[in-house]
Structure 1
Amino acid sequence: MRFEELRLENFKPYGNAEVSLSDGVTVIHGVNGSGKSSLLEACFFALYGSRALEGTLGDVVTNGEDETLVELGFSHEGVGYRIERRLRDYDNRTDHQCSLEGEDGTMRDGAREVRRFITELLRMDAEAFLNCAYVRQGEVNKLINASPSERQDTIDDLLQLGVLEEYRERAGDARLGVEDVLNAKRAVLEERDERIERLERKNLHATLNQLESDLATVDEDLDHYESQREEAETTRAEAEQILDEHEANRERLASIDEDVESLEETIREAESERETCREGISDAREQIETLRAELEERLADAGIDAAEESALETRRQELDERESTLREDRDEAVTAVTGFENQASNLKAKAEDLRERAEEAESEAERSMELAREANADLDERESRLEELDEEATALLAEFDAIEDIERGDATERLEALTERRNDVRERVAELETELKNARERVEEAEELLEAGRCPECGQPVDESPHVDRIDDRRERVTELKSSLEETNERARSLDAEIEATERLVEAEERLGEIETTRELLEERIAEAREEIDRNRETADRKHEAAEDLRTEAESTREIAAEKREAAAEAKARVETVEERLQEIDVVRDQLAEIDTRLETIADLEAEIERLRERRETLDELNDERRERLAEKRERREELREAVDEDAIASARERKRKAVEYLENVVEEIERLGERRDELQSRIGAIQGEIRTLETLRSEREELAGTVEALESVHGETSDLETMYGELRTELRQRNVRTLERMVNETFELVYGNDAYSHIELDGDYELTVYQKDGEALDPEQLSGGERALFNLALRCAIYRLLVEGIEGAAPTPPLILDEPTVFLDTGHVARLVDLVEEMREFGVRQIVIVSHDDELIGAADDLLSVEKDPRTNRSTVTRPETDVAGAIPAELDD
């Protein structure tokens, strides 16, 4: 597998970044906190999603943004792939969208599907990726700090031995499953045998024959009693029919008696109603005469000669026209009243408003004058402050005149140059002090050796040594170093004084800038104050004039309001006159309404007389018909009285009594026989069910016996398969342990070649032991920090080598990624790490990505990426810097 391209948008410190990665060793460098590790985390996140994060999805979104994009392009076994992950923050949650596309047509959508595809493609999940290819910052000691069982599980998973363990567990689960099913089937088979034996002991077929014989006898008795019951029911029905007819005749006779009485009563009521109608006609005629008399009086009051509809309508039209004219006059007068009153009220309010506005204008004029006086005071104060600033600026400029070679504006740059020179001088002082100390120690040591008769160079007797005279050179070197140190210290003191003077000039420059800014502001404020004074004085004059005009207008408005009130009073008088005339019209209308009412009443009474006359004639006709029906009813009543036969009724009642008594007795016997028949049928059904059950059990028993035999065979096969997978896993693990132990020793010898340790031992349980040259065994935890870090790197690289050599061509491994591997290493150990990187390249590792700021690792790089963070925006950028002539160290680092 090979990473090719990475594109980021709003991922952690990156706003927008695009990075291309090539074969060989790529080193990502930059200052601490610039975002180097975030590039590796983005690759890891692109592959495995949330499983690659130590926090939540929202943690990778750049602060202040709500959407993040990560795209990773990589190739695997000659096929190119591209993964895109997009995060969106909204409603306090993070939406995660993911997709993968391959040049071979592979398509995956969804974070879970992409993660499953990557896990199958690389044959490792996120945890295995960390344990094999990705050494994260601070986790270099992860494997050595793990327990042997954890280390065993980790390495087994990487070497795909976990698959064999999974197969063994599956075979064991299958064996246990088959065993459970086998035991269950055996128990069912035993239960079937017991049930078959119990049913066979019951002699079911003989019992069934006896029950069927008893059922036939009961059926014969039931048929006999059913026939006798039918005859008794026929007799009872015939008797009941005779009795019913007799009862019906009695009911018809009673009904006719009621009809006769009803008709006689109806005829009497109709005669009474005829008399009532005659009296009603007489009363109505009397009322009509009274109403006609009253009508004559109302016609005179209404001004009409006759009670005719045309005369009434003509009078109404005259009244309507008069009323319309009067109402128009009244409405005009009312409108005039309202208008005059509103005008008077509005004019009064306007006059009051004009008075208040005049007073307000006077107040505003006074306020404007007060503001003008205040602005004048501020103007004096600001002009005084401006003079003080000019005096201070003159004094500060004099300081620049006192020092040569520094113009205003150059002090800050001069201070930075002096500070840098002083730092160089101080570093030189430290170097000279160290050299002087070492030279003095060598002189003292040489003098001690001379006193002891030994050569200061080789420790041999003075007489035999050619180097005795070099002690004088060392003493001269001490003298030279002391002189150089004194000169350098003097330079440092001179620079301190010059820096102090320059710092004062820097402060003066800053103060001059502040004075100029303040002076510009004061000049603007002074101009504004003068403008404000003029503006407020003009405003005051204008407000005084406006107040006088408003008072004059208010007085004129009050006079007009009084005139409008007088006009409103005259209009009210006109309204009262018109209202009186309208009331007179209403009185006449009331008389017309009374006339209409009496005419309608007279018409209603005449109609009532006609109705009553018609009702009397109708009642005469109805009574004639009722008298005819009454005669017919009386004749039918006599016929029914003759048709009733008391002897036939008595005989029918006796036959019915005997039939009912027999039926009551025979029903009990039929019910008893029916219960007996149901009991026999139930027992026969139960016996037949048991016979069918026995036949079913025998069939099931034969099938279960065959199943148990087959399960016993499968149980043996699963046991053999479980044992085979366990033995195969153990054999492969031992083979891998021996190979891994050899590779760990080769790698550790490369990165830590000295005489202290002889070899490393890795037992079958992945317990690690380091042996010293004297044979003493050490736990890796007993190594120093740097040695332990190199030991872990050697172990991780050895595991990586084993994967490459063990499955080469089948599943190429991902890039080897080392994030700040030099954290726990000193200078000598870093050089060993460089050797390790070169060794991994020789072993065929196609792509190695390292995050580091170490010069030696940078020098070993084939490609270099530089990461910088802008302190103003807190955003990181990644670039591929130009290299120097050697092609290794970036020009900006070759200092």
Structure 2
Amino acid sequence: MKIKSIELKNFLVHEYSLINFVDGINIITGQNGSGKSSIIEAICFCLFGKPIYHNKKEDLIRYGQRDFLVKMIMNNNQRDFIIERRSSTFSTNLYGINSPNLLKAYLLKNFNINYRRYISTLLIKQKSIDEFINVNKRIIKEYEGYIKGFDYFKKKNDLEEIEKTISQIEFENNQKIKTKENLEKTLNELKNNKKLLEDVKELYRKLKDIENYEKKYKEIGEELEKDRETFEKYEKYKEIYKKAIETKSAYENFIKIKSELETIEKHKEGYEKYQEYLNCLNDKKTKELEIIVKRGKEIKKLLISEFGNLNECSDYINILNQIKQKKQELLERKQKIIQRIGEIDNQISQNQKILKELENIYGNCPICKRPLDENHRKIVIESAKAEINNLILEKQKAKQELESIDKELLETERKLKFEPTIEEFCTLKEIFEKNKLHWNKWEKEIKNYKIYEEDYKIYSQKVALEKRKVEYENKIKEWNYNYNFQEIISFVEENRKFYENYLSKLNFKKQLEIEINKKNEILLKLENYKNVNFEKIDIEIKQVEKEIERISNEIGKLEGEIKTNEKMINELKIRKEDIKKELNEYEKKKNQKEIYEELNNRLINLITFERKRSYENLKFYVQYYFDKFNLLDYKSIEIEFSE
């Protein structure tokens, strides 16, 4: 932690001073009474809220002034922070530090420094610098041992400081919790007050609205009375409007159908002729021929795709016979080839037998019966091998030819499957030829009757139209009112919007009546709020809202401070437990008597080395630690200090 600057205003001898510190050693020089020690006093007061040389804070105020200001800027290797104090106020920009006790806890936790340690260890008092400079190395070494010996008491001191700080922060936290509870109670009261004001405002608004409703109610009543006659007439016509619409539609359709029937009569002759055609179409012989022709066309299409386009049945039969003949020839060829393959296998076996015999036989040749010499044997073997090779080639060709014949046989078998179809086609054609005259006559009649097909379709609608005509005619006869249906329809359609508006006004009038009936109830409620000034109610609501916002912010701020305090208390308690553990460990090793003996030996040795120069320091340490921990009365130490 580094001090960057300190600003003093009306502090002791300083009217206004701003001191900026640099890194390293800073030396402040000046005449006696110029305010050098006041700067050290200001640093101590800014950190701990307690002076070094003065008993009261009021003694720090410059003569003739009412208050002083000490403002210090420091750096904790992370960022700059400011501590500012007056005689009775404190402020800092450290996050979560909002009270002097929290600042003390922060300094103790993060920098291991408190007020006592500052004035006893970090601060060399005035007129003591010479003593520290002139102490030789042996004394410095003894001092180090001496200070280490007091580590136990230092920790006990830290423990008391922490407990005191925890108590202070807990007390401060309890005060803040009570303050927060009071503020929350006040906040609830303000919210209730705001709701009451808003309720009153709403009642006045409703009362004003009712006055407007009464005026509007009167205007709508006059308008409704003026249009009542037209409305009642519409109500009367509305009941028979649907019937009138149906009658009008029936009448229009009746006229339309009557006209259509007159037009249809022109197609009667064509209808009758086409009916003759339909009767002929239902003739049994004609139907059979129609089926034969349809089937014949299907078969002919199939045969053309397979055998080509042939005119006569005899042509298909001839092709079929040729296929059968070809099949027979292929079967004969196949048999001959199979027979030949068998012969080739026999010849190959014979030649292989001769070759085997020639290898082991001596004397006469088994083929020509001539004497067998080596030359003749060689000729016969080569001749037999050549014969075998020729026979193998011939066998391979025979097998290839056999495969080709099998493919052709499959194709002939496929085509021969059409024989029943060809027979059916020939039968159908024979029947058709016998009835050809009847069919030709029928086809001619079809062409003649086709021109009446449209007449037939149109005239066929006559029966249905006549039936609908009768239905519409009956509906027209049902209309027995004294009114003209056209007049009713026109009136209702022209005044439909008027009727809807009239109903809307009626409904609105009923709603206004309901709201107007609430007037007495509202006036009765307002009797309870006579003391409320309606003209200033908005101002009062805004004031209450501002107060609610202020208190809410204050509660939020207190909640943050309470959480920060609780966090700080927890951290201090953890440190407290750690120190307790360390002290317990130390106490296990040494009891109070051993501690006293060790201190006594160190003090005697120190006095022996430097009585004069160390007197003030020894006196301070002995008095401080023995008073602090109540170990023994320091006066009982029989040591004489020479001047």
TM-score interval (norm. to shorter): 0.3 to 0.5
Look at both structures and tell me which one has the larger radius of gyration over its CA atoms: 2
TM value normalised by structure 1:
0.25
Q: Relative contact order, CA 8 A, sep 6+: which one is greater?
A: 1
User: Larger % of strand: which?
Assistant: 1
